[in-house]
A and B are shown apart, each in its own frame.
Chain A
Amino acid sequence: MTAAVFFGCAFIAFGPAFSLFIFTIARDPLRVIILIAGAFFWLLSLLLSSLVWFIAMKASNAEDTKVQTGLLIFGVFFSVLLQEVFRFAYYRLLRKANEGLAAISDEETSPISVQQMAYVAGLGFGIISGAFSMINILSDTLGPGTVGIFGDSQYYFITSALMTLAITLLQIFWGVVFFDGCEKSRWWVIAVVVCLHLLVSGLSLLNPLYEGSLPPVYAITVLMAVWAFFASGGSLHNLSLLFTRKILFVLQLICFVKM
C-alpha cells in the first residue's frame, strides 16, 4: 500500500499513546519500569489465554469452520477475563511495591501515588495491546497489495487503526478506574469494568460491520474518559480553573509581548 496509509494508520493508532509516553513517562525511570512491567503482565495473560485456545483448537476438528470460529470467540472472551485478572494481580503487586518504595525513600511517602501507578499501568496495558494488534498490520501496509480484493472491506487498515486507538485509550481509563475501585473496595466498579471490556470485545465481533462496532466503542471511550477523570480526582472546578488559568496565562503573554 502507500506510505500515506502506513503513516496515517501508525499515527492514528499510536500517536496519543506515544505522546503520553514522551510527556509523562519517559523522564521518570520508575514510571518506565512500571510501564514495562504492566506490558509484561498483559503479555502473560495473552500467553495463557492463547495456550488455552491452542489446546482447545488442537483438540477439536480443524476442518469445521463454525467450531473454529466459536472457539475463537471463546478465546476472545477468555482472554478478556484473564487480562482483568492479571490487572488485579498487577494492582496487588504495585501496592506491595509501593510500600517498599515508601520504606526506602527519604521522605516517609512513596515517590509515586497509586493514581499515577494506575495511569502508568493502564498505559502499559494499552500500549502493548495496541502494538500486538496493530504492528503486523502496519508492516503489511508497507508491502504491495490491494485491500479487499477478495470482497472484504476496503477500510480494513483505517478501522484497525481506529479500533486500536480506542482500545489503547480504554485500557488507560480502565486501569485508572479499576485501581480506584480496588483502593476504595468498591467491587461493583471492578465488575462494571470487566463487563465493559467484554462488551467492547463483543462489539468488535461485529466487524466488518463497522457501523456497529466503531461508534459504540468510541462512545464507551468517551464515557470511560469522563469516569476516569472523576475517579482520579478531577472535578468540574478543576476544569474551570484550568481554563481560567490558561486564559490568564495567554493574556499575560500578550501583555508581555506588547511591552
Chain B
Amino acid sequence: MVVVVATIKSVSFYTQKDGQQLIYTPFREDTETVGQRALNSILNATIMISVIVVMTLVLVLLYKYRCYKVIHAWLFFSSLLLLFFFSFIYLGEVFKTYNVAMDYFTLAVIIWNFGVVGMICIHWKGPLRLQQAYLIMISALMALVFIKYLPEWTAWLILAVISVYDLLAVLCPKGPLRILVETAQERNEPMFPGLIYSSTMVWLVGMADNGETRNNSSSSSSSPPPQQESHGDFALEDDGGFTNEWVGQQEQRLGPIQSTDESRREIQQMASARPPPPDDDEERGVKLGLGDFIFYSMLVGKASATASGDWNTTLACFVAILIGLCLTLLLLAIFKKALPALPISITFGLVFYFATDNLVRPFMDQLANHQFYI
C-alpha cells in the first residue's frame, strides 16, 4: 500500500486521465447528467464483475477437471506480463517524472534481471522475503493500472461489489471459491504459486512428492491475462494453500501481518501470541490471496489520488484497512476455515474514505487554519 501511495503521489502518469479506458469498462463517465454517469458506472461495474465471475468459474472448472497445465500456463504468462511489461512501463514513467536519462541497454538489463528473478522466486524457490517483496510489487503494479484506467465511480462501485461477491463466493456452499478450497483440500494439494502470499516459510513437507515445489507464498493471483485487465487474476481463488498439515495445525501463531494473500478470498490464519518456532519447516502463518492485496492497494491508492483532503484521507483508509485485516484474522482464528478477506476491510476503507473526505477534512482544515489542537 505504501508503494502504491508513494507512486501515486509522485508519478503523475497514474493520475492522468488521458481518456483511455480498459476494454472491460466501455462506458464513459464524462457524461452530462449525474443519472447518466451513475448508470454508466453501474454498467461498467457489472461488466467487470461478470468478467471476474466468469474467470473464477473457468478456473474452478479447470481445477476440477485437473487441467493443471492450462492453469499453470495461464499463471505463468500472467506473471510474465506483469513482471516485464508493466514494470517496464512503470520504470519509464518514474524516469520521466524524475528526469533521469536512461539508455535502452541498461534498462533492458535491469528489466530482464528483475523479471527473471521474479519469475524464479514466484514460481519456483526463492528466499521468502524476496518472494514476498515480488508479490507486493506486482500487486502494487496491478493496483496502479486499475487506478489509472478505471473511471471514478466505477472504481468505487467495483470495490463495493467485489466485497459482496467475495463474501458470497467464499461462504456460500455453491460459491466457486469454496468449491476450489474444498477440492484442493480433498486432493490434499498445495496452492498455485503466484496466487497466494504467505507470511511464513515454504512448505516442502507433503509437497516434496509433487514434482513441483510450491511456495506457500502467494501466487500472483493478480497475474493478469494478456490484456491489461487482469480480472482473471482476481477471479483466481486459491484455496489458499490449505494443506492438511496446515489444517491439522491447531496452533495459532501470529505470523507477520503481511501474510500471504489468498487469491483474494481466503484467508487462513494461524494467529498466536508467540512467534513461530524457528525450526518449523512447515507452513504456518497466514495466507492471503494476492487479489486482496491488489484491492487494498487500489483503495488506498485511489484515496491518495482523488481525495482533496490529501494525506488525512489516505492515512484513515490505511488504518481502516489494517484494522479490517486484523478483524478478519481474528475471525479466522475463531472459525478456522477459509474466510473472505475483502469485505470487512473494504467496508471499513470505503466508510472511512467517504467520511474522512467529507466530514473530517473540513474540520481539520479549519483547525489547522486557526492552529487549534484537539
A37-87 CB contacts (< 8 Å) to partner B:
37, 39-40, 43, 46-47, 49-51, 53-54, 57, 69, 72-73, 75-76, 79-80, 83
Partner of B372, one of A30, A72, A111, A136: A72
A132 to B310, CA, bound (A): 11
Q: Is the CB of B273 within 8 A of A30?
A: yes
Any B CB within 8 A of the CB of A160? yes
Inter-subunit contact A32/B273 (CB<8 Å): no
Please determine whether B356 and A47 come into contact, CB atoms closer than 8 angstroms. Answer: yes
In the complex, the answer to whether B326 meets A37 with C-beta atoms within 8 Å is yes
Please report the number of residue pairs spanning A and B whose Cβ atoms sit closer than 8 angstroms: 115
- Which of B311, B352, B360, B368 touches A50 (beta carbons < 8 Å)? B360
B319 touches A104 (CB 8 A): no
Q: Is the CB of B319 within 8 A of A128?
A: yes
In-complex Cβ contact of A129 among B320, B356, B370, B374 (8 A): B374
Q: Which residues of B contact A104 (CB under 8 A)?
A: 252, 272-273
B273 engages A47 (CB within 8 Å): no
CA distance A53 to B364 in the complex (A): 11
Determine if A205 and B319 form an interchain contact, defined as CB atoms under 8 angstroms apart. Answer: no
Q: Does B183 contact A (CB under 8 A)?
A: no
Quick check: B273 and A111 within 8 Å, CB to CB? Answer: yes
| Option from B252, B272, B319, B367 in Cβ contact (under 8 Å) with A39 | B319
Docked-complex contact B374 and A79, CB < 8 angstroms: yes
Residue of A105, A133, A163, A201 near B274 (CB, 8 A) is: A105
A196 part of interface (Cβ distance < 8 Å): no
Q: How far is the CB of B224 from chain A (nearest CB, A)?
A: 31
Instruction: State the interface size on chain A (CB cutoff 8 A).
Output: 51
Chain B facing A: main interface SS = helix
Given A101-B273, A104-B273, A135-B311, CB of A156 within 8 Å of CB of B371 = yes
Q: Which of B257, B360, B372 has the largest number of chain A CB atoms within 10 A?
A: B372
Q: Verify B371–A204 contact, CB threshold 8 A.
A: yes
Residue of A nearest to B364 (CB): A132
Nearest CB in chain B: distance from A45 CB, A: 9
A204 and B372 contacting across the interface, CB-CB below 8 Å: yes
Please tell me if the beta carbons of A163 and B374 are within 8 angstroms of each other in the complex. no
* Nearest CB in chain B: distance from A123 CB, A: 14
**Given contacts A83-B374, A201-B374, A204-B373, are A32 and B257 in contact (CB under 8 A)?**
yes
Judged by a CB distance under 8 angstroms, whether A191 is at the interface is no
Contact B374 A76 (CB under 8 A): yes
Q: Is A132 a contact of B312 with CB atoms below 8 Å? A: yes
Q: CB-defined interface of B335-356 with A at 8 Å, one 1/0 digit per residue? A: 0000000000000000010011
**In the complex, per-residue mask of B240-259: 1 if CB is within 8 Å of any chain A CB, else 0:** 00000000000010101100
17 contacts between A and B (CB under 8 A): A30-B273, A53-B363, A69-B370, A76-B374, A79-B374, A104-B273, A111-B273, A128-B319, A132-B315, A133-B364, A133-B367, A135-B311, A135-B312, A156-B371, A204-B371, A205-B372, A207-B372
A residues lining the B interface (CB < 8 Å):
29-30, 32-33, 36-37, 39-40, 43, 46-47, 49-51, 53-54, 57, 69, 72-73, 75-76, 79-80, 83, 101, 104-106, 111, 128-129, 131-133, 135-137, 139, 156, 159-160, 163-164, 167, 200-201, 204-205, 207-208
Binding site for A on B (CB under 8 A): 252, 254, 256-257, 272-275, 309-312, 315-316, 319-320, 322-323, 326, 352, 355-356, 358-360, 362-364, 366-368, 370-374
